[in-house]
Chains A and B, each alone.
Chain A
Amino acid sequence: MGDGVRRRDVLTGAALALVSGAAARAGVIKGDLPWRPDAVSPPPRVEPGPWQFFTPEELPTIEALADRIIPPDPETPGGKDAGCVVFLDRQLAGAYGSAEGLYDRGPFIQGVEQQGPQSSKTPAQTYRAALQALDQYCRDGGGNGIPRGRRFAELAPNEQDEVLHGLEGGTVHLPGLEAKHFFITLVKDIQDGFFADPIYGGNRDMCAWKMIGFPGARYDYRDWVSRHNERYPLPPVSIGGRAEWTPRQR
């Protein structure tokens, strides 16, 4: 803000904007900063509830994948219990899943790697096809000597890892899909959910932040910037606060 003497002008402008509403804005800015009280855009918070993207058929598969990408250990939950599948469910049901805002005009031509992704499929379409294809691959025995007839979630963890190494290394092919690219996306999405703010459904109870020592949304370290080689003492906070701050249900 500028000089204190200007404050009255700002308030007058804000009051006018409230009276005349959006029409007063109409894309023209003149005389005052186009500021209005309470005009904020906080992120939508993921609430518990029914699955929005994954089908009952897909859930065991994606949950098993999440737990192989981030396996549970005695101190920190795995991808499934950390909420990474809830995160991914809401992301795929939303703007990310539909590739909103990306350039979607054709022609779609496969270029060289350094020209970036050129797929005409949205992430939601890719996941839908890939999870089904992955289960089919496992049911068919996969060519890796895995017994036929079991879905991905029904394989032993070491068998699951073998399939994933195959996807990563380009030896497992899924019909109609770029399996290797899908796997890179899957790993990125599950890990994004693990480390993103818990308001998005993953990183449950800030488990990932506690694991590494990241204090989250604190936003002010002026008291610690000069304290070299000392562990930061405070626990993490989320944009949604901390469990201890939230009134308990009675």
Chain B
Amino acid sequence: MPRRLSHKDVAIVGLGWTGSILANELTDAGLEVMAIERGPWRNTATDYPPNYAQDELRYRIRHELFLRPSQTTFTFRNKMSETALPIRNWGAFMPPNGVGGGGVHWNAETWRFLPSDFVLRTHLTKRYGAHFLPADMTIQDWGVTYAELEPHYDRFEYLCGTCGQAGNLQGKILEGGNPFEGPRSRPYPNPPQTQPFSHTLFAQAARQLGYKPFPQPSGNLSQAYRNPLGVRQGQCSYCGFCEWFGCGNYSKASPQTTILPVLVRKPNFTARDQCEVTRINLDPSGRRATGVTFVDATGQEWEQPADVVLLCAYTIFNVQLLLLSNIGQPYDPLANRGVIGRNFTHQTISDVVSFFDPKKFIFNPFIASGAIGMCIDEFNGDNFDHGPHGFVGGGYMGQVQTNGRPIETTPVPPGTPKWGTKWKQAVKENYLSATKPGTGVHGSMYSYRDVYLDLDPSYKDRFGRPLVRITMDFHENELKQNRFLTDRFAEIFQAMGARQMDKQYRRAPYDIADYQTTHLCGGAIMGTDPKTSALNRYLQSWDVPNLFVIGANAFPQNAGYNPTGTVAALAYWSAEAIRSRYLKSPGPLVQA
């Protein structure tokens, strides 16, 4: 029998970025908040201090900071006609685990989506006509606009101390920033990071080709910073151990370095770590959540009663809890009905690895940070005329190389053997004079009728619950997009003086073992119609109004940027709606 804990105003599932933001906002409003986190507590001094954080084998290759598939995983197939098989070791993406969530191991690339991204179907239909979109593409408008989210993007950037150069300040286009970005109300809180050699050279070449390069917005700090909550961070040391690693310098924005030191000290906040929520409990009507059930590290089951439940776990786990708790109608792609599992997306990433004359170029690739880089945005979203190209979507591209860690980043020219004397010689010759941006082309992935999540019929987790089944493949629109963008990207490296290039186009079929990014989106999306969305514009469940589901699960489709800035902006947007409207009159914030 589950043991019952005392009632709280709010139960939060997952203490990563969104859980930390919501907990801080709602404790400020005077509510009693309990956050329940599956993984362990993590902090700099114990988990990744600067005397052993720089361990490529432990953190990058053996996945120290991530969820273990033995705890839970997903099954995967490309097509509905195939049998899905379990992901036994992580590949295409890396689900986080522990307090801080993905905020511990991310690169801290802190982007905003374009204004047109939020009204995507309306915008594209108006510009190109409805016939221009593939028939099975299920893109939607978000139900929220860039203008509405702007103050919330701004709050997150000032929380993190994001470093960058504004390109559009209250409508005025500024030199050196991204001229395509939506208007921002004030400049970034910190100046851009210093750019190493290859990143600088990329920007010069891009400028020669007529593009407008700008520094990637970075949550690795260019200087010491004290945020509005009074929490301090130090200057980034360009150590080259950022993504997949925790930061030993307190210089990467994470819940640990921006919110938790304040949140944890509040008397109305409690967290439980190593506790996995197994379901959301509903009253007999099925229209009201009464709290959550979770299992602690000893196997003891607990019930946490609460007035409001916030799902703040990773994208797919939010969707899984909805499915396992029978909240919302599961999506059926054949009937094209239902909402839970619908519009699932990832990203369309590719890379160009370039080789330069070692006598002329010393790039020192190990001098880098997670969000270092010079980018261009000419080929993102609808920043260019798609008419002649026959596809929609796009992405930023840039020399965003984050590291020279030698297990991962010892590129050799195409045609080199993978082992033996020639391989060894090529590694030695090219290490200092090659560029490997990693996720150089950061393309969008739009949503399709046959790309979705549901519960697997045979594979189970350690509690005997069904795993989530991913059905996903690339569609021709994304592959066309990627060919076009990768070729434009390669032209810039050509202009930099590369003597050889390896254009690594993204190809079908979608491969679950091949890392892209951890930017999985959708499955419980926001929108204006309960028939085609699980959540209303405030991320409130249409079916259970005292449940909010906060994360990239709400994206109706993915844009050509890293998602965290938008995830956090949605978290603040939702928190404001809860504080200013829901608490005064608990119930649906939008009438269906």
Binding site for B on A (CB under 8 A): 1-3, 6, 9, 27-36, 39-43, 68-71, 73, 76, 95-96, 100-105, 107, 109, 111-118, 161, 164, 168, 187, 190-192, 195-197, 200, 208-209, 211-222, 224-226, 228-232, 239
**Which residue of the partner chain, among B230, B362, B424, contacts A3 with CB atoms under 8 Å?**
B230
Given contacts A32-B264, A239-B51, contact A104 B78 (CB under 8 A): no
Contact between A219 and B424, CB atoms less than 8 A apart: no
A-B CB contacts (within 8 Å), total count: 228
Find chain B residues with CB under 8 A from A40 CB: 45-46, 49
Q: Return chain B residues, CB-CB under 8 Å to A36.
A: 46
Does B404 lie within 8 Å of A214, measured CB to CB? yes
Name the contact of B45 in the complex, choosing from A9, A35, A107, A219 (C-beta under 8 A).
A35
- Chain A residue numbers with a CB within 8 Å of B196 are 225, 228
B362 and A231 contact, CB distance less than 8 A: yes
B229 at the interface (CB under 8 A from A): yes
Question: Does B410 sit within 8 A of A, measured CB to CB?
Answer: yes
Q: List 9 A-B contacts (CB under 8 A).
A: A29-B272, A41-B46, A105-B460, A115-B84, A191-B407, A195-B410, A197-B57, A225-B195, A232-B367
B92 to chain A, nearest CB (A): 9
Known: A107-B458, A209-B406, A230-B362. A161 touches B420 (CB 8 A): yes
Does B270 count as interface, using CB distance less than 8 angstroms?
A: yes
Q: For residue A68, which residues in chain B have a CB less than 8 angstroms away from its CB?
A: 419-420
Which of B134-142, B170-178, B211-219, B235-243 binds A? B235-243
| B237→A164 contact, CB < 8 A | no
Complex CA gap A33/B69 in Å reads: 28
Nearest A-chain residue to B66, judged by Cβ = A101
**1/0 contact trace for B285-303 toward A, CB 8 Å?**
0000000000011000000
Among the listed A118, A208, A217, which residue makes an inter-chain contact with B85, where contact means beta carbons less than 8 Å apart?
A118
Q: Check if B420 sits within 8 Å of A115, measured CB to CB.
A: no
Chain A residues within an 8 Å CB radius of B489: none
B185 contacts partner chain A, Cβ-Cβ < 8 Å: no
Taking CB atoms and an 8 Å cut-off, the chain B residues in 28-72 that contact chain A are 41, 43, 45-47, 49-58, 61-63, 68-70
Q: Which residue of B lies closest to A41 (CB)?
A: B46
CB distance from B166 to the nearest CB of A (A): 23
Give A229 to B296 CA distance when docked, in angstroms: 53
A102 CA to B82 CA, complexed, in Å: 23
Which 6 A-B residue pairings sit nearest by Cβ, starting from the closest? Answer: A101-B68, A212-B431, A103-B69, A228-B197, A195-B406, A220-B237
B70 touches A225 (CB 8 A): no
Tell me whether B13 is interfacial, beta carbon within 8 Å.
no
Do A116 and B406 contact each other (CB < 8 Å), given the known contacts A103-B73, A214-B431? no
- The verdict on B432 contacting chain A, using a C-beta distance below 8 Å, is yes
Chain B residue numbers with a CB within 8 Å of A71 are 420-421, 424
- In the bound complex, residues from chain A placing their C-beta under 8 Å from that of B47 are 41
Known contacts A195-B407, A212-B410; A102/B89 CB under 8 A: yes
B509 near A114 with CB under 8 A, answer yes
Once A71-B420, A161-B420, A221-B237 are accepted as A-B contacts, the answer to whether A116 and B91 lie under 8 Å apart by CB is: yes
Instruction: Report yes or no: B262 in contact with A105, Cβ–Cβ below 8 A.
Output: no
Proximity bits, B489-521, A CB within 8 Å = 1, else 0: 000000000000000000001111110000000
Q: Considering the chains assembled together, what is the distance between the CA atoms of A28 and B34 in angstroms?
A: 10
Check B264–A117 contact: CB distance below 8 A. Answer: no
**CA A3 to CA B228, docked complex, whole Å:** 11
> Are A28 and B270 in contact (CB-based, < 8 A)?
yes
Q: Are A43 and B86 in contact (CB under 8 A)?
A: no
Q: How far is B270's CA from A195's CA once the two chains are assembled, in angstroms?
A: 43
Is there an interface contact between B237 and A212, defined as CB atoms closer than 8 Å? no
CB–CB B238/A225 < 8 A: yes
Least distance between B67 CB and chain A CB atoms (Å): 9
The smallest beta-carbon distance between B233 and chain A, in angstroms, is 10
- Given A33-B260, A116-B91, the answer on whether A222 and B235 have CB atoms closer than 8 Å is yes
B77 within 8 A of partner (CB): yes
Interface residues of B in 405-446 (CB under 8 A from A): 405-407, 410, 418-421, 424-425, 427-428, 431-432
Are B458 and A29 within 8 A (Cβ)? Answer: no
Asked if A9 meets B88 with Cβ closer than 8 Å, knowing A1-B231, A69-B419, A71-B421, the reply is: no
Kindly list chain A residues whose C-beta atoms are within 8 Å of the C-beta of B428: 76, 211-212
Given contacts A29-B273, A195-B410, are A76 and B239 in contact (CB under 8 A)? no
B433 to A: closest C-beta gap in Å: 10
Q: Across the interface, do A187 and B78 meet the contact criterion of CB distance under 8 Å?
A: no
| B interface residue count range (under 10 / 10 to 19 / 20 to 34 / 35 or more) | 35 or more
B130 to chain A minimum Cβ distance, whole angstroms, is 33
B78 in complex: contacting residue of A31, A105, A114, A168, CB < 8 Å: A114
Q: Is the CB of B418 within 8 A of A168?
A: yes
B193's nearest neighbour on chain A, judged by CB, is A225
Q: Closest chain A residue to B59 by CB distance?
A: A43
Interface flags for B268-283 (1: CB within 8 Å of A; 0: not) read: 0111111100000000
Bound Cα distance A130, B85 (Å)? 25
1/0 per residue, CB under 8 A from A, across B454-493: the answer is 0000111000000000000000000000000000000000
Question: Quick one: which of A41, A116, A192, A215 contacts B57, CB cutoff 8 A?
Answer: A192
Which chain B residues border A228 with CB–CB below 8 Å?
A: 196-197, 200
A229 touches B76 (CB 8 A): no
Contacting pair B87 A116 (CB below 8 A): yes
Add 15 more A-B contacts to A70-B424, A107-B458, A229-B362 (CB < 8 A).
A1-B261, A30-B270, A73-B421, A103-B88, A112-B82, A114-B513, A115-B77, A115-B512, A116-B88, A117-B89, A197-B57, A211-B428, A218-B239, A221-B367, A228-B196
Distance (whole angstroms) from the CB of A107 to the closest CB of chain B? 7
Expressed in whole angstroms, the Cα–Cα distance for A227 and B73 within the complex equals: 45
Q: Which residues of B contact A208 (CB under 8 A)?
A: 406
Task: Name the contact of B54 in the complex, choosing from A3, A33, A219, A226 (C-beta under 8 A).
Answer: A219
Asked if B267 lies at the interface with its beta carbon under 8 angstroms from chain A, I say: yes
Residue in B54, B63, B272, B512 whose beta carbon sits within 8 Å of that of A28 in the complex: B272
Are A32 and B45 touching (Cβ within 8 A)? no
Q: Is the CB of A27 within 8 A of B297?
A: yes
Per the bound structure, the CA–CA distance linking A200 and B405 in Å amounts to 16
Q: How far is the CA of A219 from the CA of B195 in the complex (A)?
A: 17
Instruction: Give the most central of B49, B195, B249, B362: most A CB within 10 Å.
Output: B362
Interface centre among B52, B424, B510 (most CB of A within 10 A): B424
Contact residue among B61, B267, B272 (Cβ-Cβ distance under 8 Å from A27):
B272
Which of A1, A215, A216 has the most CB atoms of chain B within a 10 A radius of its CB?
A1
Are the CB atoms of A196 and B407 closer together than 8 Å?
yes
Chain B CB within 10 Å, residue with most, of A112, A195, A200, A230: A195
Q: Tell me the complex Cα distance, A212–B231, Å.
A: 40
Hey, which chain A residues are within 8 Å of B264, CB to CB? Answer: 29-33
B232 within 8 A of A: yes
Q: Are B459 and A105 in contact (CB under 8 A)?
A: yes
Report the Cα distance A201→B157, complex, angstroms. Answer: 43
Contacts of B273 in A (CB 8 A): 27, 29
Q: Which of B85, B200, B261, B428 has the most CB of A within 10 A?
A: B85
B260 pairs with A114, CB closer than 8 A = no
**Could you say which residues of chain B place their CB within 8 Å of the CB of A212?**
406, 410, 427-428, 431-432
Q: Which of chain B's residues has its CB closest to A183's CB?
A: B419
A232 to B363, CA, bound (A): 10
Which of B61, B238, B261, B425 makes the CB contact (< 8 A) with A6?
B261
A226 nearest in chain B by CB position: B194
Across-interface contacts of A109 in B (CB, < 8 A): 83, 85
Shortest Cβ gap from A73 to chain B (Å): 7
Interface hits, B379-421 → A, CB 8 Å: 404-407, 410, 418-421
